[in-house]
A and B are shown apart, each in its own frame.
Chain A
Amino acid sequence: MRPFFKSKQGSSQQQGKNEQPSEFNMPEIILSKYLDVNVQMIKEMTGDSSDIIIRRLDQALGKPIHVAVIYTDGLADEQIINNSILKSLTQIQADADSSLDPPKQVLGWIKHRFLAIGQVTDIDTMKNLFDAILAGNTVILVDGTAKGISASSAGGEQRGVDEPQSQTVIRGPREGFTENLRVNTSLIRRKIKNPNLWIVDRTIGRVTQTDVAVMYIHGIASDDVVQEILKRLDRIDIDSVLESGYIEEFIQDATFTPFPTLTNSERPDAIAGAILEGKVAILVDGSPFVLIAPITIFKLFQSSEDYYQKFDIATFLRLMRIIAFVFSMLLPSMYIAITTFHQQMLPTTLLISLAAQREGVPFPAFVEALAMEITFEVLREAGVRMPRAIGSAISIVGALVLGQAAVQAGLVSAAMVIIVAFTAIAGFVAPSVSLSNSARLLRFGFMLLAATLGLFGIIAGLMAMLIHLAGLRSFGIPYLIPLAPFSPSDQKDALVRVPWWAMLKRPTLISKKNIKRLKSIQKPSPSKDEQEQEQ
C-alpha cells in the first residue's frame, strides 16, 4: 500500500531482522565411527522418546557386524521395514568370500546388494539422520563407519483421498487433497503428465520443518512470478507452519484489504486448471488447502465446474455469482438507505407494507439490521463449531427464534428477516470462501455508511472499494485484469465463458508466454463427406 501519511519512522520496522533465532538450529554434528556413540547421541537428542525405535543387530548378513536400524514409530511403514530391511539384514547370508574389511564396504553391500527398497541415500551428519527418520525413512548405521544410509519407508496412518468438504461440485472429479504433501503432488501430477510440471521444494518452520512445494509448468508460468513467490517464501522465518494459511499471510501482497490476493482450493482439478493457466500452486504439508497465485478478482467468481458444464449455463452461473456477491455485500445497506433516506424510491404499496411492518419495531432500521446480521453471524459460527449431533437443534432454534418469534414479538420487521436471510444465502454462492468472507466484512462497513449517508454513502463506499481494487496487485498482476487493464482476448473467460473450442489463448496477462491453447477454432460441424452423401 502506498503511504498515505508521511512516514516519520520508516526504518523502525527493519529492526530485529539480524536477530537469528538459534535454539532449534540443529548443530552440524558428524556421525561417529562407533555405533554406540551414535546411538547414545540419538537417544540424548530425542530425550529417549518412545517413538524413536532403535533396533540393534549383533549379526547381519550372517556375519558378526553390529548394525542399528533406526526409524520413527508411526511415521515409517513397519511392513516395509520388516520385509525389506530387517529380513534382508538377518536372513540373507553374505558370500563367504566377501571380506568384511573395511566395514565401510558393508554399507555399500547393504545399499547395493541387499536392500529391496527404491530410494536409498547416504547420510553423514546428525542433521541428515534426523531429517530422514522424522520424514518416516529408516536409517541403517553400521559399526565402524562414520556413515549411514537412509531407506525410504515412509508410511503410517494417513487419511485417504476423499471428496472435498469445502468445495463440492455436481459434475467433476470427486477427489480432494489430503494432508500428505506427496499424495497431493501426485494428484496434480496425475492430471498433468508432463515433465515441464516442475516442483520446487522449500522447508519452512524452524521447529516444525514443514515441507512446502511450489508447483508450476515451466514454460507457461511467468518466471518473474515464480521467482517472486520463491523469494517471498525464502523470506519467511517462523517457528511453525501448520496450515497453508500461515504461508498465505506471509506472502500476500496486501494485508489490510478485505479481498484475498491469493486463493486456495481443495480440488486437484481446480489446481491443475490454474497451473495450466500459468498460475503457481503452493502446497503445504499437513494441509489439504493448496494456495494459488497470482489471482484476479474474476478468478474468485469462477468454479472449476464452470469448465465442465456447458458454456451457456456456466456463463449464466458466473453472472449469478457476481449478482449474489453484490447482494450479499449491499442488500442490508440498500434496505437501510432506502427505508431511512429515500422512501420516495419505493413503489407506494411496497412503502406502505414496509411501513406497516416497521410500525411496532422499537429500533431504527440500522440497529435492527445490525442486530440481525450479528445474530446470523453468531448462528453461522455456532453451526461451524458445534458438534455435528447438535446441528439440527441449532438450526431449528435459529429458524424459529429468528424467523418467527422475533417478528411476532415485534422486535424486528418481517422484511428485515427476509433481507438478512437472503443476504446470508447469497453469501454462500461465492465459490471461494475467502471472497464470501470479504463480502461479509464489507457488509458491515456499507451498513454504517448507509445509516449515516444513505445511498450517497453506499456509492461513496463503492467508489472507495473500486479505487482500492484497482490499486491491488497479486504478485505483480493487477487485480482487475482483464477489465482494467483491458484485454480483449481474456474476456472470453472472465465474466462469461465461451465454448472450449473458441478459447484460443490462456490468460495473456498472467502467463505472457506460450499463450496458445488451441491451434485454431475447432467448432464442431458435420464432416464434409456426410454432407455430400446427404445431397
Chain B
Amino acid sequence: MLRRLGLMFLLLSVALLTGGCWDSQELNTLSIISATSIDRNNGKWEISFQVVIPQSIATQTGGGSAGSQSPTTIFSTKGRSIAEAMQNASLETSRKLFFAHNSVLILSEEVARQEGVGEILDFFLRPFESRETMSVLLTKGKASNLLEVLIPLEKISGNAIQRIIDLSQKNLSMVQNMRLIDFARMIASPDESAMAPELEVSGDLTKQSSLDALKKTRNEAVIKLGELGIFRKDKLVGWISQKDSSSVAWLSDRVSSMMVVFPCSTKAQKEQLISYRVMKSSTKLEPKVIHGKSIIFAKIQATGAIDEAGCNLDLKQPSVIRELERTISKQIGDDVMTTWSHLQGMNVDLGGFMNAIHRKDPATWRKLMKSKRPIEDISLRVQVKINIEHTNMITKPYSSLLKDQKF
C-alpha cells in the first residue's frame, strides 16, 4: 500500500515537474499594455504600445513612490509585418508584452486607407491572449500621438478612452463602441460596409504629454471623439459628420439615449430652442418592391421627454405637444434622408438595408447584388413617430413667467 502510494506520488511529481510551469509568468515580468496604435512609416509597420507602470498607479505599496512618475510609458517598434514589429519589441523592453488587457486599438487614417485593416485584424484575432473586445478607433493624424495624451482623473489613458466611447454610446447613441470582433464581423459581412469612430486630439499635444500638465486645472489638450470613419471592404473610404452618425444610429436601431435640439416653431427665431431627450426608440425596416424598385420603409418610433424649453409655449396643452412631436419627427426624418444621400454617395450600407432585403426577399437581394453600386438602387421612405411622454418636473417654460409680468 505504502509502496504503491509512494510510486504514485513519484510518478505524479515527475509529471508535474517535467510538464508544469511551462507558461507560467509572474506579474512582475509582464508589461501590461493598455492601448496599441498602428501607423505606417517608410513602408514599414510602426506599432506603439502604451505600457502601464503599476508602481506609479497603485498608491501606498512597497515599491516606487506614486505621483512622481508617469503612469504609462510608450514605445514604438517597426517591422515589415506586424508580428515582426512585435517581436522587435523585445529588443528594447525588459518585460514580456502582455496583450490581454489591451483595451484600445488605434489605427491611423493612412493605414486604414492604404493598407486596409485585413492584416491587422488577422494579427489581433489570432493569438489566444488578445481580447476581441478591444475598441477599434481611427485617427486622422499619427496614431501613436493619441497614446501620449494624459487624461486627468484617469491614470491609464487606454482604459479611459474605452470608457469615453462607452459613455458616449450610452448617452448620445451616435458613436458606437466598435469592438474588434464586431468590426471584423461587419467588414466580413456581405454588406462589406463598416464604421469606426474617430478619435482626435484638440489642443497642444506636446504640453499634455508631460506629467506637469496634470498640475494645471485646464488641460492643454484633450482627447475626444470626432467623426465616423466609413469602411468599404477593409479600406477606409470616407468620413461622415457627427450629425450623420446620429442618423445612422436611427437607421440601424441603436438609439438608446439622444438629445434632439430643434426650434420651438418653424417661424420662431433660431435661438429659441427646445431639447428633447430620447429615452426609448425602435426602428423597423420594411423592404418592399414597388414598380420594380426596391424601397425601404423605415419606421422610427421614439419616446422621450422635454429637458429644456427656451421659448414661451404652453406645454400643458396637448395640441402644443402634438405640434412639437410633429416638428421633431420632421427634423429627424429630414436628417435621416440627408444622411442617406451621403451614404449612397459612398456606396456603403450602414443601416443594414441589404440584410433586411436579403431576409425578406432573397430574389431581389440577388438581383441587387449583381449591380456594382446596389445602394444607389434602393430608395428610402422614413416614417417617424415621436412621443413626448412628459416634460419633467415643470410644465410651463420658465420664460413664460417673465413675459406676463408688467412693471
Interface positions of A (Cβ within 8 A of B): 1, 3-5, 256, 339-341, 343-344, 348-349, 351-361, 364-365, 407-410, 413-414, 448-449, 451-454, 457
Interface of chain A: mostly helix, strand, loop or mixed:
helix
Q: Which residues of B contact A339 (CB under 8 A)?
A: 26-27
A409 to B32, CA, bound (A): 25
A341 and B23 form a contact (CB under 8 A)? yes
A409 to B61, CA, bound (A): 11
Known: A365-B27, A452-B19. 18 other contacts (CB 8 A): A4-B8, A341-B25, A348-B101, A351-B32, A355-B30, A355-B54, A356-B54, A356-B61, A356-B64, A357-B58, A359-B64, A360-B62, A360-B63, A365-B26, A452-B20, A452-B24, A454-B23, A457-B16
Residue ID in chain A nearest B159 by CB atoms: A348
Q: Which residues of B contact A355 (CB under 8 A)?
A: 27-28, 30, 32, 54
B101 and A256 form a contact (CB under 8 A)? no
A359 to B60, CA, bound (A): 12
**Nearest CB in chain A: distance from B207 CB, A:** 26
**Nearest CB in chain B: distance from A289 CB, A:** 27
A354 and B27 form a contact (CB under 8 A)? yes
Q: State which of A348, A361, A408 has its C-beta within 8 Å of the C-beta of B28.
A: A361
Q: Which residues of B contact A348 (CB under 8 A)?
A: 32, 34, 101, 103, 156, 159
Q: Which residues of B contact A409 (CB under 8 A)?
A: 62
A351 and B25 form a contact (CB under 8 A)? no
A352 and B100 form a contact (CB under 8 A)? no
**Nearest CB in chain B: distance from A231 CB, A:** 21
A451 and B62 form a contact (CB under 8 A)? no
**Nearest CB in chain B: distance from A275 CB, A:** 33
Residue ID in chain B nearest A1 by CB atoms: B1
B232 within 8 A of A: no
A352 and B23 form a contact (CB under 8 A)? no
B62 and A357 form a contact (CB under 8 A)? yes
B78 within 8 A of A: no
Top 10 nearest A-B pairs (CB, nearest first) are A452-B20, A344-B100, A356-B58, A356-B54, A359-B63, A355-B54, A360-B63, A410-B62, A353-B58, A355-B27
B55 within 8 A of A: yes
Residue ID in chain B nearest A9 by CB atoms: B3
B126 within 8 A of A: no
**Nearest CB in chain A: distance from B284 CB, A:** 38
B61 and A451 form a contact (CB under 8 A)? no
**Nearest CB in chain B: distance from A203 CB, A:** 30
Q: Which residues of A contact B54 (CB under 8 A)?
A: 352-353, 355-356, 359
Complex interface residues of chain B between 148 and 172 (CB less than 8 A to chain A)? 156, 159
**Nearest CB in chain B: distance from A251 CB, A:** 17
B91 within 8 A of A: no
A457 to B17, CA, bound (A): 12
User: Given contacts A355-B54, A359-B64, A449-B16, is CB(A343)–CB(B156) below 8 Å?
Assistant: no
Interface positions of B (Cβ within 8 A of A): 1, 4-5, 7-8, 16-17, 19-21, 23-28, 30, 32, 34, 52, 54-55, 57-58, 61-64, 98, 100-101, 103, 129, 131, 156, 159
Residue ID in chain B nearest A359 by CB atoms: B63
Q: Which residues of A contact B101 (CB under 8 A)?
A: 343-344, 348, 351
B28 and A454 form a contact (CB under 8 A)? no
Q: Which residues of B contact A349 (CB under 8 A)?
A: 159
A386 to B128, CA, bound (A): 53
A356 to B60, CA, bound (A): 10
Q: Which residues of A contact B52 (CB under 8 A)?
A: 352
Q: Which residues of A contact B103 (CB under 8 A)?
A: 348
B4 and A452 form a contact (CB under 8 A)? no
Residue pairs across A and B with Cβ atoms less than 8 A apart, 18 shown, are A256-B1, A340-B25, A340-B26, A341-B24, A343-B30, A343-B98, A344-B129, A352-B32, A352-B52, A353-B54, A355-B32, A356-B57, A359-B28, A359-B54, A361-B62, A407-B62, A414-B61, A414-B62
User: Given contacts A344-B131, A351-B32, is CB(A454)–CB(B24) below 8 Å?
Assistant: yes
A410 to B61, CA, bound (A): 9
A359 and B55 form a contact (CB under 8 A)? yes
A4 to B8, CA, bound (A): 9
B63 and A453 form a contact (CB under 8 A)? no
Q: Which residues of B contact A408 (CB under 8 A)?
A: 62
Q: Which residues of B contact A457 (CB under 8 A)?
A: 16, 20
B61 and A359 form a contact (CB under 8 A)? yes
Q: State which of A358, A360, A448 has its C-beta within 8 Å of the C-beta of B16.
A: A448
Residue ID in chain B nearest A337 by CB atoms: B24
Q: State which of B24, B30, B63 has its C-beta within 8 Å of the C-beta of A451.
A: B24
User: Given contacts A352-B52, A359-B63, is CB(A453)–CB(B32) below 8 Å?
Assistant: no
Residue ID in chain B nearest A340 by CB atoms: B24
Q: Which residues of B contact A361 (CB under 8 A)?
A: 28, 62
**Nearest CB in chain B: distance from A373 CB, A:** 18
**Nearest CB in chain B: distance from A371 CB, A:** 15
**Nearest CB in chain B: distance from A154 CB, A:** 43
Q: State which of A5, A356, A365, A448 has its C-beta within 8 Å of the C-beta of B63.
A: A356
Q: Which of A3, A340, A410, A449 has the most CB of B within 10 A?
A: A340
Q: Which residues of A contact B28 (CB under 8 A)?
A: 355, 358-359, 361
A344 to B32, CA, bound (A): 10
**Nearest CB in chain B: distance from A5 CB, A:** 5
Q: Which residues of A contact B55 (CB under 8 A)?
A: 356, 359
A453 to B15, CA, bound (A): 11
User: Given contacts A348-B103, A352-B156, A448-B16, is CB(A343)–CB(B62) below 8 Å?
Assistant: no
Residue ID in chain A nearest B13 by CB atoms: A448
Residue ID in chain B nearest A7 by CB atoms: B4
A451 to B8, CA, bound (A): 19
**Nearest CB in chain B: distance from A91 CB, A:** 66
Q: Which residues of A contact B63 (CB under 8 A)?
A: 356, 359-360, 410
Q: Which residues of A contact B61 (CB under 8 A)?
A: 356-357, 359-360, 414
Q: Which residues of B contact A357 (CB under 8 A)?
A: 58, 61-62
A356 to B7, CA, bound (A): 42
A341 to B21, CA, bound (A): 9
A359 and B16 form a contact (CB under 8 A)? no
B4 and A4 form a contact (CB under 8 A)? yes
**Nearest CB in chain A: distance from B76 CB, A:** 22
A190 to B23, CA, bound (A): 63
A408 to B32, CA, bound (A): 24
**Nearest CB in chain A: distance from B353 CB, A:** 38
Q: State which of B21, B25, B32, B156 has its C-beta within 8 Å of the C-beta of A452.
A: B21
B62 and A3 form a contact (CB under 8 A)? no
A160 to B285, CA, bound (A): 86
B21 and A451 form a contact (CB under 8 A)? yes
Residue ID in chain A nearest B99 by CB atoms: A344
**Nearest CB in chain B: distance from A405 CB, A:** 11
A429 to B131, CA, bound (A): 39
A349 to B158, CA, bound (A): 12
Residue ID in chain B nearest A341 by CB atoms: B24
A304 to B87, CA, bound (A): 63
A110 to B153, CA, bound (A): 99
Q: State which of B16, B26, B58 has its C-beta within 8 Å of the C-beta of A352.
A: B58
Q: Which residues of A contact B62 (CB under 8 A)?
A: 357, 359-361, 407-410, 413-414
A448 to B30, CA, bound (A): 22
Q: Which residues of A contact B57 (CB under 8 A)?
A: 352-353, 356
Q: Which residues of B contact A454 (CB under 8 A)?
A: 23-24
**Nearest CB in chain B: distance from A131 CB, A:** 38
User: Given contacts A352-B52, A356-B54, is CB(A5)–CB(B32) below 8 Å?
Assistant: no
A339 to B27, CA, bound (A): 6
